[in-house]
A and B are shown apart, each in its own frame.
Chain A
Amino acid sequence: MEQEQTLKITKIKDGIVIDHIPAGKAIKVLSMLNVGENSRHTISLAMRVRSEKRGFKDVVKIENRNVAEEELSLISLIAPEATVSYIEGFNIKEKRMLKIPEVISGILKCPNQNCISNSKEPVQSVFRVINSNPLIAKCDYCEREFKGNELLGKQ
């Protein structure tokens, strides 16, 4: 069943497949990968595909592009159960589950305007993940705890 549905999108020769994205979040994933008007990659997107695991899911396929660890940890925050497959010559070279990191460094801005990490200091933002699903993380500087939507809202 799942196989059949996934085939709605063309197989890709080289690139990455991000599967098991929560239904409706694929566009958010693409924006995290900075895919936009000027993007040079071929992208296939399937939303609300039937999935065995949890009813519906989204799938994203990006050709001829790799994803950095940093990008993956960002995606894991909205798609904690997603998998990433690296495709080479139509074959899956590597497939792995995304994992929410224990510490999120540098990629998120602290939502607290009054936090020192938002000023011109030579430091990266640092959040410690307190709960992964639903996401709750604590800023290492102002020590406030934030929910996923607060952390990802402005990204």
Chain B
Amino acid sequence: MIKNRSIITIDDISDDDLNEILTAADEMDRSLKSKKKINILDSRVMCTLFYEPSTRTRLSFESAMHRLGGAVITMADVKTSSVAKGETLADTIRMADAYSDIIVIRHPLEGAARLASRFTSKPVINAGDGSGQHPTQTIMDLYTIKKEIGRLDGLNVVLLGDLKYGRTVHSLILALSKFNANIKLISPPSLRIPEYLINRVKNKKSLEILDTMDGNISDADVLYVTRIQKERFTDPNEYQSLIGSYSINNSVMETMKKTSIIMHPLPRVDEIAPEVDQDPRAAYFRQAANGVPVRMAIVAKVLGGI
């Protein structure tokens, strides 16, 4: 049961919680499609505190709260608010505690959401901290895989791109390993998955660390692509020379199974060519759309609406 509990890492979600959330997200999705009014969080208030921009995550949380009949308050701009005047996160959270029923936070420092949860009795939802966790994104990814493929267990999953800094992939790897996935991790050597994360995966035999897509994606059920940021390289030529080998276009798609799907946390830049968007296996826009029903399910469960 996640009622009245903070969701800081994916470990805060038990297998039962996850199943309940996925089922509830399906119901939310159906209600949204049928345009049915859902007023289960009438008069409840969500406070969103985004210390770094993430339009997609913020809008999907705020949309989810509005769709549930609740209200949203937000810190307009970190640059002009009390935070800019040097207020600690602890003090900002004490204020948010007084004004709202649930706090959603995104922060550039690792552990910020955990710290926030220690200064409020209201549930805190981590919407991404540093290179750390982003649990609702993970649940949304799992929901997308289940909806697209029909199951979560025993899949062949390839994660491609920046596996070192990419915050969404870390908790996804841990979650997928619980579902007995065979996971291939393909990245430039300088952007490999950190050692400490590998140590947290229970069945290390299910992980393969690779440098190239060649011959490694034909049996994939899910190809999860992440953005490789130019800023990660001191030499811009290095980025230019390797980005092509980690990008998806129609000729790469030809080597993949007909039943596979391509996912991406968005926004994408060069990693997926626009020509791929027409392919029915391109699931990334559907994945982004799943953010609202999944966050509706999570917020409703945490606030005890369902």
Partner of B90, one of A115, A123, A140, A143: A123
B90: chain A residues within 8 A (beta carbon): 121-123
How far does the alpha carbon of A140 sit from the alpha carbon of B118 in the complex, in Å?
Answer: 11
How many A-B contacts are there with CB distance less than 8 Å?
Answer: 54
Within 8 A of A (CB), among B110-149: 110-112, 114-115, 118, 129-133
Tell yes or no: B9 within 8 A of A by CB.
yes
A34 CB to closest chain B CB (Å) equals 28
Residue of A nearest to B116 (CB): A116
Interface string of B86-114 (1 = CB under 8 A from A): 00111000000000000000011111101
Contact present for A114 and B88 (CB under 8 Å):
no
Tell yes or no: B278 within 8 A of A by CB.
no
Contact present for B115 and A116 (CB under 8 Å):
yes
Tell yes or no: A119 within 8 A of B by CB.
yes
Contact present for B112 and A116 (CB under 8 Å):
yes
Contact present for A123 and B9 (CB under 8 Å):
no
Contact present for A116 and B107 (CB under 8 Å):
yes
Contact present for A139 and B111 (CB under 8 Å):
yes
Determine the interface band of chain A, counting residues with CB < 8 A from chain B: 10 to 19
Contact present for A116 and B199 (CB under 8 Å):
no
Contact present for A115 and B110 (CB under 8 Å):
yes
Query: A143-B9, A143-B132 in contact; A112/B110 too (CB < 8 A)?
Result: yes
A144 CB to closest chain B CB (Å) equals 6
Contact present for A122 and B88 (CB under 8 Å):
yes
A139: chain B residues within 8 A (beta carbon): 111
Contact present for A121 and B110 (CB under 8 Å):
no
Within 8 A of B (CB), among A128-155: 139-145
A140: chain B residues within 8 A (beta carbon): 111, 114
B109: chain A residues within 8 A (beta carbon): 114-116, 119
Tell yes or no: A96 within 8 A of B by CB.
no
B contact residues, total (Cβ < 8 Å): 20
Query: A143-B9, A143-B132, A144-B196 in contact; A120/B111 too (CB < 8 A)?
Result: no
Name, among B9, B90, B129, B132, the residue most crowded by chain A CB atoms within 10 Å (CB to CB).
Answer: B132
Name, among A112, A122, A139, A142, the residue most crowded by chain B CB atoms within 10 Å (CB to CB).
Answer: A142
B112: chain A residues within 8 A (beta carbon): 116
How far does the alpha carbon of A117 sit from the alpha carbon of B114 in the complex, in Å?
Answer: 10
Contact present for A114 and B115 (CB under 8 Å):
no
How far does the alpha carbon of A119 sit from the alpha carbon of B92 in the complex, in Å?
Answer: 15
Within 8 A of A (CB), among B170-187: none
Contact present for A121 and B115 (CB under 8 Å):
yes
B89 CB to closest chain A CB (Å) equals 6
Contact present for B111 and A141 (CB under 8 Å):
yes
How far does the alpha carbon of A123 sit from the alpha carbon of B91 in the complex, in Å?
Answer: 12
Interface positions of B (Cβ within 8 A of A): 9, 88-90, 107-112, 114-115, 118, 129-133, 196, 199
Interface positions of A (Cβ within 8 A of B): 112, 114-117, 119-123, 139-145
Ranked 3 nearest A-B pairs via Cβ: A141-B111, A142-B110, A142-B111
18 A-B pairs whose Cβ atoms sit less than 8 Å apart in the complex: A112-B110, A114-B110, A114-B130, A115-B110, A115-B130, A116-B89, A117-B115, A120-B88, A123-B115, A123-B118, A141-B111, A141-B114, A141-B115, A143-B110, A143-B111, A143-B133, A144-B196, A145-B196
With A116-B89, A116-B110, A121-B115 given, name 9 new contacts (CB 8 A): A114-B131, A116-B109, A116-B129, A117-B115, A121-B88, A123-B90, A141-B115, A143-B111, A143-B133
